[in-house]
Structure 1
Amino acid sequence: MSELQTLLAGLAFGESPRWHEGRLWFSNWGTQEVRAVDLEGKSEVMLRVPTTIPFCIDWLPDGRLLVVSGREGLLLRREPDRELVTHADLRELAGTWNEIVVDGRGNIYINGGDFDAPGIIALVTPDGSVRQVADDIAFPNGMAVTPDNVTLIVAESHGNRLTAFDIDDDGSLSNRRVWAALEGAAPDGICLDAKGAVWYGDVPNKCCVRVREGGEVLQTIHLDRGCFACMLGGENKQTLFMLAAEWRGFEHMADQARTGQVLITHVSIPGIGWP
């Protein structure tokens, strides 16, 4: 692993990083922005979203951008003319929505729920139907799908674990199991690598961790602030991007302090899967 570098600073709270068309895209929570940054640190606002927190992003197979408008309970879609329209209405299933991942078949998985109750995972199929496919998730956060589209992994931040499901032919989830028990950890955003390991960000423990199925920790990158999410991208998907910021609670998210950063380092094992 190479030296840790700061690619971008002065953000509020970076979340939902995605490597897309040669740049890292991410949500800048608290500012209504989706930004993109290249490997030289040049960034620009790609769109503004009519919500504050939470909102996360991914793409449909046809290239249209999806945005989770979390507090509003809507999944938005950006059309070729850049207009944001409603792709799916999630309000009947839960009050607040968080992370999203689109698999290689176009199935959209979104997790959420109220802060004082177990979370759920919803499925939006390519034909537009919406249904719940998992429940009792202890504060659901990052999700990833294996490149063969048969396994979904979700971070349960309040459950100190990564949980896996089989993806059935119709997109339903089954065979729930603990993929990795992580004592004392609070896994947030996640991504997969070609050795089958998961990288996860951890806010309270201020680190980014690589772990294999079963829970063995393979590598830990210690940071000076909380790591909200991570993504493998760049050339050959061997750049690890970490979105980090000082965290003082939701009540301080509107403060003027801009401690958010995009940190990078080179790793030997490339990223795979979705997102």
Structure 2
Amino acid sequence: MTVTRIRAQWERRDERFGAVNGDEYVKVLFDEGSWLEGPAYSPAWRTLLVSDIPNDRVLAWDEATGGVGVWRSPGGYANGRTIDRAGRMLQCEQGTRSVTRTEPDGTVTVLADRWQGKRLNSPNDLVERSDGSVWFTDPSYGIDSDYEGHRATPEIDGCHVYRRDPDGSVTRVADDFIRPNGLAFSADEQTLYIVDTRREHLRRFDVQPDLSLSGGEVLGTSDAGGFDGLRVDDAGRLWVAAHDGLHCFHPDGTLLGKLLLPEVCSNLTFGGPKRNVLYVTATNLLLSIRLNVTGVR
């Protein structure tokens, strides 16, 4: 497709957001999805992987050519993903109800699909910590209907947050969410931010030395539908997907401003060689804009 452009619309609510800026236009890189999710940028491949959940496929946008192709189909009704420190792709699969890792030779390793012998609901989003642990959310979207997974009866009582350690053990770390969704660590990994989409808010947890969580206070609330995915930039600001675009919060909880976008946003990631290109999935659209801020390493 020919790349089209949308004029960037910034809504500034706090003077501390005044220094945040970028390209005059947001680029539309792809517009033929059904519900796009889970963008993850690989600097080695110069490729952005994106889930098209209802169509059960993973798409790949090539940074060098601008082309979009099918990377994997069927794709396990994949949702969120990340590229780990070894360059491997980790993703949440709603269809297989698991967290998987794609190895360099293309084989798939299941990292987690059960907790205490019971099948997970439908893992949604994940983040890797520097110690090799993988933290993920497990709402029930993939088993609620056949639209983005396979309808099934849940085996676990509730939708929770889990940690998968390098030894393969899976630990529940938070159990008071309705629909946990996007999550991200602060740069020092001492804080974990987690969205509860149903409650339309963002929470802040302290990571203890034993990797348990404490705190959990509400840091920010959406005024435009439920929050979804989120990322942190190198100044500690939180960028959160919402129905009207991306909401940007200061670590103290102040809503600094928004990047308004034309469709309901599901997720985002920082990419490009300098980590200053913001890629956004918004309903059927894959968008990008180069900013004067960078994503946390």
Aligned to 2:137: 111
- Residues 222/131 of structure 1: CA separation in 2 closer, same or farther (3 Å cut): same
Aligned to 1:211: 249
- Percent identity over the alignment is 24
Displacement of 1:122: 0.7
- Residues 81/265 of structure 1: CA separation in 2 closer, same or farther (3 Å cut): closer
Q: Which of 233, 245, 253 is the matching residue for 1:193?
A: 233
Q: Determine if contact 1:68/1:97 at 8 Å carries over to the other structure.
A: yes
* Secondary structure, aligned partner of 1:61: coil
Aligned to 1:180: 220
Mark the runs of 5 or more structure 1 residues left unpaired by the alignment: 246-259
* Secondary structure, aligned partner of 1:136: coil
Q: Distance in 2 between matches of 1:236 and 1:18?
A: 15
Q: Distance in 2 between matches of 1:147 and 1:93?
A: 32
Q: Distance in 1 between matches of 2:190 and 2:60?
A: 30
- Residues 45/168 of structure 1: CA separation in 2 closer, same or farther (3 Å cut): farther
Aligned to 1:263: 287
Displacement of 1:36: 2.3
Normalized per residue, which structure has more strand? Answer: 1
Mark the runs of 5 or more structure 2 residues left unpaired by the alignment: 1-21, 145-156
1:97-136 aligned within 5 A: 97-114=123-140, 119-136=159-176
1:1-275 aligned within 5 A: 1-2=22-23, 3-21=25-43, 22-39=46-63, 40-52=65-77, 55-90=79-114, 92=118, 94-114=120-140, 119-202=159-242, 205-245=243-283, 260-273=284-297
Given the two structures, how large is their TM-score scaled by the length of structure 2?
Answer: 0.78
Q: Determine if contact 1:108/1:124 at 8 Å carries over to the other structure.
A: yes
* Secondary structure, aligned partner of 1:56: strand
Displacement of 1:142: 1.0
Q: How many residues align?
A: 256
Which deviates the most, 229-238 or 33-42? 33-42
Q: Distance in 2 between matches of 1:57 and 1:88?
A: 14
Q: Distance in 2 between matches of 1:157 and 1:120?
A: 13
CA RMSD of aligned residues (A): 2.3
Given the two structures, how large is their TM-score scaled by the length of structure 1?
Answer: 0.84
